[in-house]
Structure formats: structure tokens, C-alpha cells
Structure 1
Amino acid sequence: MRTKMAQRRNRRSGVEDRWRKADGSPSAADGKGKRWRARYVDDLGREHAKGFSRKVDAQGWLDEVTAAQVTGSYVDPKRGAITFTAFYSQWSKRQVWVKGTMAAMDLAAKSVTFGDTPLIDLRPSHIEGWVKAMQDKKLQPSTIKTRFNNVRSVLRAAERDRLLARDPARNVKLPRVVKGEKSIRIPSPAEVGQLVTSSVEHHEVMRAFVAVAAFAGLRLGEVCGLRVSDVDFLRGEIHVERQSQRGEIRAPKYGSVRTVYVPTGLITELAEHVRKFCPGDDPDRWLWENAKGPWTADVVEPRFARLRERIGLEVTLHDLRHFYASGLIAAGCDVVTVQRAMGHKDATTTLNTYSHLWPRAEDRTRKASEQMFRESTADALRTDQEVNSPDLV
């Protein structure tokens, strides 16, 4: 026996008079409820209807729905009724995130003030209210921007799934993030020297760790993820291929696998570290590890904090990365060279962080004119000496 399959209805729409039959005579519903009913069938064959007192209102509503279907911005009212929180709960389970990304996304999603609002009802005003609430809680502009971007990725996913007609976060203004000199701290060479040398007295195993952060510019997780085989002792190179984060070994941030060319002094430090703290002959053994595996931030940061407090410096490990970048710039390296050494996503990130360190137009002008001044005065002085000196016999 064959099972009869339900026939899918084609998309159509129309407005009908509930009170009158086709011949104009009263219907059974005459005088009951709203007279005009607008009906349409969507792309999936589902019928939707809504009642109106006036025909012009019914037709206007139907025209809006038809236009939305044509332009691709149509949202099924039933599907669009899902709340932001419910959609995020379903969508996030399908994402291939690492633990750190998952934690950041969960934090952002839980911070919204419109979690119980149906997606179809979301407006820019909801997003603006949430941003203002974060600002009122004294969150840093950079933190607000990060959470906003994370939540916006959820809204864009809902838009792709036709649960939102358009992204309500588009064109929403965020607090200004101040870039440049005030947003970073660059330790002096003397301070870096103190950290490297004092670690011998305090905890010698940290000496090479601090040196790699300061003279190769690696991120904390990247230093933790180094194996002995990642250091080319003959060529003076460190190959950054992974990072150790929250018990996970994964690719560096932004996939920034790279080779960093380092000074002989740092290679000497690493060779001594391997001799003292990395017994064995396995080339893939970790440079810094404990019983749980390679070090992570929860191991390094308390050790560095004790070292910093011991010598009385307000320096973070990330400040050492800024120290490295500033040194490259001072030596005349261009933006792309610094970007590649730092493992930044793009040159824009490098410029946004360090643009104030590169010589400005006025600095270059002053330097050029200073050189011209010295050359010109030197020539004039030589000419004056030749004129006023007695002839040599």
C-alpha cells in the first residue's frame, strides 16, 4: 500500500472578505471578527494569515511580506520567535571552537540585556541599550568592542539562517578605543635587564623564559609551547608553531606560524637552559614543563608576579612583547617586518598598536634638515679656513 505524500503548496498570497461571499451575499461569518483576512504561503509551503478591520491595512501588510520574500529578507514569524539566548544555545553547540574562544563567546552571550527577546523583534535600540549598560559598568572600550563583535557573529549567523531580516548591530556606535602611546607600557632596557638577571637569584628556570619574551617577542602561550626542536641553535632561529593554552596545544593566535630571528645572546641563554632543565635526548621535549605537561599561564604568571614584586617593577609579560616591537622599530624595521616578527594578523594591527613609535613626518624633516645643516656648515668652515690660512711653502 502506497503512502500518500502531503502535497507542497506553491507560494501565493491574497486578501479575502470574510463577511461576503463571491456573489456579494452575506457569509456565515458576517459581522463576526475582523472582516478582512490576508493570507500567504511561504517558500516552505506553510500558510500564514492575519485579520484586519480595513482592506487597505490587510493589503499593506501583505505587500510588505511579498516584498520581503522577493528581496530575501523574509523571516518566518514562527521561526523568528526563538529568543537570542535559545538560538545561541543551539548554534554554539555546532561551532568548532577551542576552549578559549568558547569561554569568550559564552561570556559575551550571557552579558546581553536582550537574551529573552525574540530574534524577529530585535532592533538597533536593543543593541545600543546593551552597549550603554556595559559602559555604565565601567568596562573598558576594548572589552566592550570584543564582546560586541562576539555577539554580532551570533546575529549574523541568525541572519544567514533567515531568523533575522537584517543585522540589528549594523552601524551601532561603540565607545572609542584609545590607541597608541597611552595604551601600552614599554619597559626600559634597564628594567628588562633586571628581570633577566634577578630571575637567577629568584627562580633560575624563569631566566630563559623572560629572555624569549623580551628578545623574541613571543606571546606567553607561544613561549610555553616551545619544544627543544623549535630552536635552531646554529642558525639563530626560533620556529613558532604552537601555543599552550588552558591544557590545550593549538596553533598560534591568528595561525601566525613563523620564524623569529634571534640574537646570539638569546641562543646562548636557551642552550644553557636546555643543559640545566631539559634532561634527555628527545628533540621534541618541552622547554618548560611540569608533571601535567607544558607550562600554561596559570603556572607562569604567579612565578613572574613573584619575580616582579621581588625587584619592585610594574611590568607584565606582555610588556616585554612591546619592548621587543619597540626595539625593532627603533632599529628601522618597516611595518611588514614588525608584523611578521610579532605574528600579528595584519599590518593594520601593528600600526594600530605601535604607529606612534615610528618616526613622524616632522621627525624625518628635522633629521634631514639637521644633516643638511651639518654638511653645509662643515663646508663653509673648511672654505673659511682655506681663505684665512697662510700659504704653505
Structure 2
Amino acid sequence: MVSLKQRPNGVWRARYRDQDNKEHSKHFKTKREGEAWLVEQKAAIATGQWASPAAGRIMWDEWVSRWLEMQVWADGSVTSAITSTSSVPWRQKSIRDVKSGDVQLWVTHEADRGLAPSTIRTRLNYVHMAFRVSVDNQVIPRSPASRTKAPRQRKKSVTMRILTADQVAAALEAAGEFRLFVAVCAFAGLRLGEAAGLQAGDIDFERNTISVRRQVLGTSIPSTNVGPPKAGSERDIFVPRELIDMLAGDKKLSPDTLLFRTPLGHLYNRNNAGHEWRKIRVLLGFDDEVKLHTLRHTFASNLIASGSDVVTVQRALGHSQPSITLDVYSHLWPSAEDKTRSATPTFMGHVRGLRAPCGLH
């Protein structure tokens, strides 16, 4: 039901009822303005884009808290979302009062203060998600972040570090009690958290596989906990028999026993595992760019060098999409030019090796 009537003071009062039969009204100086407003509200209701005027009064911080309660994310994602949504200047502003210009200005200021384009893009993504869910829940009619432009990320020269076989062997030799942890990173390509979350039951001694079913999250002992791996990272990895033999001493453990703990019995996390690796790095004279994650890069490079295609590498590394694998490792695959350079001489050599007419030799 809609109505538009002129009041004794000459003001036009426009009224309509929403899909819940709740009445809303607004006053206008002219009839034309009232009619235009009613058409807009009716169209928004019909297309599912209508938002309650009262709902939009909620403050940004309050809405973000409600939005985060709806998510089923791992702790790391929640932390990133909080950091991102807390960096905006409209935290104590009603969500309906945030304009597209406010969002673009925030992005520009983040770039001006030296934040990396990839970090700004991540923060903008979380902010946009919060706005988008508010639209879905009819808090606001449209997201002010939908057309925000993030800074372009310049292509950087590839500086990925890859260890040689001799360097990996030296790292294993220097690792001491941390040796098996280093081994599963180097020969199964596990992330730090995935290696820390391995249980005895994840090792299949018959099929020579390691199953990734969980990861350790957190950067300190109080914050450390075990959770599911990154989305799409659950996988079974075929590994060398030699690695299985290295882990064979854990056959007698119960399946749910974690394989790796610090000498004090704590779970390995980013800090204490990183500390163990830094000791190895100093001992061997590696520079600061050689991190524990370098072992995962080394694993991937060896798969590629052996002729593995992108999907095979993607599945082994637990990337959710092949595009992620290509973004990180595309420079390791031979280019079309490389293949041409190697294929043509091989073909020509084969031809010249045959008995050819017309003096081809």
C-alpha cells in the first residue's frame, strides 16, 4: 500500500508498507519528490534491494561484530578480518552514512602511508565483504565499496630461493631433533602449520602417503591451537619411501598422537619452529632470505623440474586453485620459447641422423 497526501501546511506526506507490512513515511516539499521516492522504494522492495531505514543506523564496529559471528573461519582469517575492518576511519559512524568516497579516500590514505598494494587489497576485500553481507541482510541498500579501486600491484622480479640437494642434506644434518620436521617440509612440501599438526595416523606406511588433515595455528604458546587446514588444503601426498622409513619409528604411537613437539612438550608454532630453523640457518651460513618455507618452494621446484603439470603440483601443495600455483611458480615452468629451443634441435638431430636426400648432411 502506498499513499501520497498533502498536509494542511502544504507538505506532502508519502507512505508505504514494506514486505513485513511495516509502515514507513517521509515528508517532501513537492508532490513530484514524493512520487519519485515512492517509486524508488517500491522498486527496491520488488528487486530485493530494499533496506530498513532504521537498520542502517547501526554503527560500523557493531555491525562488524555481528558479521564476524556469522563466519565459520579459522582463527587466522578472523584476525585478518578484525585488522582490516578496524583500520577504517568510520568505525563510530552509522553504516548507512558511509559513502563510496569515504571508502576510496581510506584506500588512498593507506597507499600514501606506504602500505603494500597486496595488503590494501586484502583489507579492502574484508571491508567489502562486511558491506556486502549488510546488503544481503537489508541493513543498507547497496555497498559503498563495490566500485572502490585498489592500487595496482607492480610486477616484481622473481627472487624465490630454492635450495640445492647439498643444502637440503646439510640442513637435515644440522637439524638435530628438528630433523624430521625439516624432512616433511622438504620432501612432502608441507606448510609449517601442517607439519606441526601431523599425527601418527596421518602416515600410511603401506601406500607411502602423508595425509594433511589439520594445522597448528598461532604464533605463541598461549595462542597455539589445532584447527582445520586452509580451505582446499586437505590432501594425500605421495612421498618417497625413504621419508616413510624416517617416520617409521612412530608406528607404535596411537593414531591421534602429534608427531612433533618441542623439547618442553609444546606444539610447534610459527615462532618456536622459526627459531629452530634460524639456528640451522646461522649454523650453515644461509642468508635471511632462506626461510623454513623455502623448503616448500624447493619441493615444488623439484616436482616441476621432473615434468609435473600444474594440476599435479597444485594438488601436492594443497592450493585451492591452479591459478594460485601459477601465480607463485609459473616462472619455474619452461616457456614456449624454451620448449621450441629444445624441441627443434632434437627434431633436427633426429632428421639428420636418417639417410637424407639432397645433401641434407
2:221 paired residue number: none
1:13 paired residue number: 2
The verdict on how the C-alpha distance between 1:62 and 1:282 changes in structure 2, with shifts beyond 3 A counting, is closer
1:3 paired residue number: none
For structure 1, which segment, 60-69 or 337-346, has the greater mean C-alpha deviation from structure 2 after superposition? 60-69
For structure 1, which segment, 361-370 or 43-52, has the greater mean C-alpha deviation from structure 2 after superposition? 43-52
2:107 paired residue number: 131
For structure 1, which segment, 114-123 or 70-79, has the greater mean C-alpha deviation from structure 2 after superposition? 114-123
Q: 2:50 matched to 1:71? A: no
Any residues of structure 2 matched to 1:75-154 within 5 Å, and which?
75-154=51-130
Task: Give 1:17's aligned amino acid.
Answer: Q
| Matched-pair contact (CA < 8 Å) for 1:113–1:129 | no
Separation in 1 of the partners of 2:88 and 2:164?
Answer: 41
In the alignment, structure 2 segments of 5+ residues that lack a partner are 219-223
- Percent of pairs identical after alignment? 37
CA RMSD of the aligned region, Å? 2.7
Task: Give 2:98's aligned amino acid.
Answer: L
For structure 1, which segment, 99-108 or 291-300, has the greater mean C-alpha deviation from structure 2 after superposition? 291-300
For structure 1, which segment, 181-190 or 355-364, has the greater mean C-alpha deviation from structure 2 after superposition? 181-190
Task: Give 1:357's aligned amino acid.
Answer: L
2:158 paired residue number: 182
Per-residue deviation, 1:223? 0.5
For structure 1, which segment, 290-299 or 71-80, has the greater mean C-alpha deviation from structure 2 after superposition? 290-299
2:199 paired residue number: 227
Equivalent residue for 1:197, pick from 168, 173, 180: 173
For structure 1, which segment, 80-89 or 185-194, has the greater mean C-alpha deviation from structure 2 after superposition? 185-194
Alignment deviations for residues 99-124 of structure 1 (CA, whole Å, 9 cap, x no partner): 22221211111112232332223333
Per-residue deviation, 1:371? 0.3
Per-residue deviation, 1:372? 1.7
Per-residue deviation, 1:383? 11
2:240 paired residue number: 263
The verdict on how the C-alpha distance between 1:189 and 1:139 changes in structure 2, with shifts beyond 3 A counting, is farther
Task: Give 1:257's aligned amino acid.
Answer: E
> Which structure has the greater CA radius of gyration?
1
2:334 paired residue number: 359
* 3-state SS in 2 of match to 1:316: coil
| Matched-pair contact (CA < 8 Å) for 2:210–2:238 | yes
| Matched-pair contact (CA < 8 Å) for 2:200–2:253 | no
* 3-state SS in 2 of match to 1:355: helix
The verdict on how the C-alpha distance between 1:282 and 1:65 changes in structure 2, with shifts beyond 3 A counting, is closer
Task: Give 1:224's aligned amino acid.
Answer: A
Any residues of structure 2 matched to 1:1-393 within 5 Å, and which?
12-19=1-8, 30=9, 35-177=11-153, 182=158, 184-199=160-175, 204-246=176-218, 247-271=224-248, 274=249, 281-290=253-262, 291=264, 293-313=266-286, 314=288, 315-379=290-354
In the alignment, structure 1 segments of 5+ residues that lack a partner are 1-11, 20-29, 388-393
Separation in 2 of the partners of 1:337 and 1:48?
Answer: 58
The verdict on how the C-alpha distance between 1:95 and 1:381 changes in structure 2, with shifts beyond 3 A counting, is closer
| Matched-pair contact (CA < 8 Å) for 1:108–1:148 | yes
| Matched-pair contact (CA < 8 Å) for 2:51–2:135 | no
Per-residue deviation, 1:380? 6.5
Per-residue deviation, 1:279? 10
Separation in 2 of the partners of 1:229 and 1:344?
Answer: 23
| Matched-pair contact (CA < 8 Å) for 1:38–1:50 | yes
Alignment deviations for residues 75-110 of structure 1 (CA, whole Å, 9 cap, x no partner): 211111212222112232343333222212111111
The verdict on how the C-alpha distance between 1:18 and 1:281 changes in structure 2, with shifts beyond 3 A counting, is closer
Separation in 2 of the partners of 1:143 and 1:61?
Answer: 40
| Matched-pair contact (CA < 8 Å) for 1:181–1:356 | no
Per-residue deviation, 1:234? 4.2
Alignment deviations for residues 37-89 of structure 1 (CA, whole Å, 9 cap, x no partner): 22223223333322222222222222222222222211211111212222112
* 3-state SS in 2 of match to 1:294: coil
The verdict on how the C-alpha distance between 1:171 and 1:331 changes in structure 2, with shifts beyond 3 A counting, is farther
